[in-house]
Amino acid sequence: MPTTLPADSVGLVTPQTAHFDEPLALACGKTLEAYDLVYETYGELNAERSNAVLICHALSGNHHAAGYHGKDDAKPGWWDAHIGPGKTIDTRRFFVIALNNLGGCHGSTGPCSTNPATGRPWGPTFPLMTVSDWVCSQARLADRLGIERFAAVVGGSLGGMQVLQWTLSYPERIANAVVIAATSRLSAQNIAFNEVARQAIRSDPDFHDGWYGEHGTLPKRGLKLARMVGHITYLSEHSMGAKFGRDLRSDALNFGYDVEFQVESYLRYQGDMFSTVFDANTYLLMTKALDYFDPAATCNGDLATALAPASCPFLVVSFSTDWRFAPARSRELVEALTRANKPVSYVEIDSPHGHDAFLLPDPRYQAVFGGFMKRITRELDLEKGA
C-alpha cells in the first residue's frame, strides 16, 4: 500500500453493520430469525436516490470491494480496479454498496456466528443458503438504506448469478443488470470441481464434521487443497504457462516431493494464505449455493421462459479463456434473453487470464463495461454531480 492513497481510489473506508430482526425464510425450509449484514458504501446517494449500484460478490469475496481499511493495507478491496472516482463504476456519479453475503465469514451472520437458539456457534448447522435467499437479504439492506430501485446490480461469477436472480425476484427494483463471467447454471464439470473441494475439506481430520471451532482445530489442509483446486480453475492454461512455465525453484531436479516447480510453490502459497483467512463451513456453503442455482429448473429447463419476469437491460460479459464459466455459458444466457425478447448486450473480452479476468483491469473490458455505465449515467442525468 502506498503511503498516499491513489487519486482514483475511494480512499479509506469503514465497514458498517445492519442488524435485521425480521425473520428470513430460506429456500431450504429453515428460517433465520435475526441476522447481521456487513457492508461498505462508496460515493454519495443523490437526493432522488436513483444512483445506487449494488455489487454482488463471488465465492470467496466480501463487502470490501474498493478502497483501503487502513494505511497499512497491503492491497485495496477486491474490485478496486473497477470502483472509484473516474473508474468503470464511477463513484463521483454512483452510490456503490457492497456487502458480505449471509453465510459468509467476514462479519455477516454465518457459520462462525453464534446461534441464538443454542448459544454456540452455528458451525455446520448454519442453514444452506441459495442465491435467492441472498438476493432477498440484499433487498432488505436496500430497504434499510432507502433505495427503492438500483441503477444497476453488478457481479461476476457467483455474483453474476445474484444479478440474474435480482432481475427475476425484483424486476421493478433493478434498472440495469451487469452479469460478468457467470452462468445460469453450473455444468457437471463445475459441480465436480466443487465436490472435490468439499471432499478435501470434509475429509480433513481437523474438520470434525464442521465442529472444528469447538475442537480448537482448523481444517487448514482441506481448505488449502480446496483452494488449490479452485485456483487452477480460475486461471487459464495460458496464464499459468506464461506465469510459471516449467520453471524450477532451484537449479536442478531434486527427485523428491517437496516443492520443485514454481507453479507448485504458487499454489501451495495461495492455499496456505486462504486457509488462514477463510472459514471452511462458509466455503462449503458457498459451493453449494453455486451448485443449486438454476432458475430454469422451475420451467423444465427452459431458461427463456424462466426469464419472463426480467425487464431491465442486461450487459453480459464473458472472457475468451475462461473455462470455469466459459463464453458458451454466457452465450446460452444471451440466447435465452433474446428468445425472451429482453434487452441485452453481449461482449466476449479477449483475455489470457481465464476466469480471474473479471477481477482485473483490461482496456476493452473497461471500455465496454464503462460504456454501459456511461449510458446509465446519461439516462439518469447523473452527470451534473461532478
Partner 1 sequence: MMRADLALIYDWVPEGARVLDLACGDGTLLEALARDRKVAGYGLEIDPDGITACLEKGVNVIEQDLNLGLANFDDDAYDMIIMTQALQALRRPDLMLDEMLRVASEGIITFPNFAYWRHRVHLGIKGYMPVSKSLPHAWYDTPNIHLSTFNDFEHLCRQKGLIISDRAVGNGDHEGHWSSRWWPNLFGETAIFRISRGQGHKRSRAQTVRNTGELL
Among the residue ranges 61-69, 177-185, 227-235, 341-349, the one whose residues contact partner 1 (CB under 8 A):
341-349
Among the residue ranges 153-161, 197-205, 271-279, 333-341, the one whose residues contact partner 1 (CB under 8 A):
333-341
Residue 27, judged by CB atoms within 10 A of its CB (0-12, 13-18, 19+), counts as middle
**Residues in contact with partner 1, shown as a per-residue x/- string from 267 to 306 under the rule CB under 8 A:** ----------------------------------------
Kindly state whether residue 379 participates in binding partner 1, applying the rule CB under 8 A.
Answer: yes
The least distance separating partner 1 from the CB of residue 156, rounded to whole angstroms, comes to 18
The least distance separating partner 1 from the CB of residue 125, rounded to whole angstroms, comes to 45
Kindly state whether residue 374 participates in binding partner 1, applying the rule CB under 8 A.
Answer: yes
Q: State the Cα–Cα distance between residues 239 and 322, nearest whole angstrom.
A: 11
Kindly state whether residue 313 participates in binding partner 1, applying the rule CB under 8 A.
Answer: yes
**Closest CA relative to residue 307, chosen from 185, 147, 189, 190:** 185
The amino acid present at 230, given as its one-letter code, is G
Q: CA–CA distance from 363 to each of 90, 171, 176, 270, 368 (Å)?
A: 16, 31, 22, 27, 9
- The smaller minimum CB distance to partner 1, of residues 142 and 315, is found at 315
Q: Is residue 184 a contact partner of residue 295, using CB atoms and an 8 Å limit? A: yes
Is 157 a residue of the active site? yes
Residues with Cβ < 8 Å from 269, sequence gap 6 or more? Answer: none
Q: State the Cα–Cα distance between residues 267 and 179, nearest whole angstrom.
A: 28
- Given the residues 137, 157, 169, 318, the one annotated as active site: 157
**Residues in contact with partner 1, shown as a per-residue x/- string from 348 to 367 under the rule CB under 8 A:** x---------------x--x
Q: State the Cα–Cα distance between residues 146 and 162, nearest whole angstrom.
A: 20
Return the residue of 187, 199, 217, 345 that touches partner 1, per CB under 8 A. Answer: 345
**DSSP string covering 188-221:** HHHHHHHHHHHHHHHTSTTSGGGTHHHHT---HH
- The smaller minimum CB distance to partner 1, of residues 144 and 364, is found at 364
Kindly state whether residue 372 participates in binding partner 1, applying the rule CB under 8 A.
Answer: yes
Q: State the Cα–Cα distance between residues 325 and 310, nearest whole angstrom.
A: 22
- Given the residues 133, 355, 356, 362, the one annotated as active site: 355
The least distance separating partner 1 from the CB of residue 111, rounded to whole angstroms, comes to 40
The amino acid present at 357, given as its one-letter code, is A
Kindly state whether residue 142 participates in binding partner 1, applying the rule CB under 8 A.
Answer: no
Q: State the Cα–Cα distance between residues 304 and 97, nearest whole angstrom.
A: 30
The least distance separating partner 1 from the CB of residue 347, rounded to whole angstroms, comes to 5
Kindly state whether residue 344 participates in binding partner 1, applying the rule CB under 8 A.
Answer: yes
The least distance separating partner 1 from the CB of residue 316, rounded to whole angstroms, comes to 9
**Closest CA relative to residue 105, chosen from 157, 40, 60, 45:** 60
The 10 Å Cβ neighbour count of residue 216 is 8
- The smaller minimum CB distance to partner 1, of residues 104 and 313, is found at 313
**If DSSP codes are grouped into helix, strand and coil, which group holds residue 107?**
coil
Kindly state whether residue 264 participates in binding partner 1, applying the rule CB under 8 A.
Answer: no
Residue identified by cell 433487498 is 139
Is 187 a residue of the active site? no
Is 322 a residue of the active site? yes
Kindly state whether residue 338 participates in binding partner 1, applying the rule CB under 8 A.
Answer: yes
Q: Specify which residues 317 forms β-bridges with.
A: 180, 347
Kindly state whether residue 315 participates in binding partner 1, applying the rule CB under 8 A.
Answer: yes
Active site (catalytic) residues: 157, 322, 355
Residues that bind partner 1 (CB under 8 A): 313, 315, 331, 334-335, 338-339, 341, 343-348, 364, 367-368, 371-372, 374-375, 379
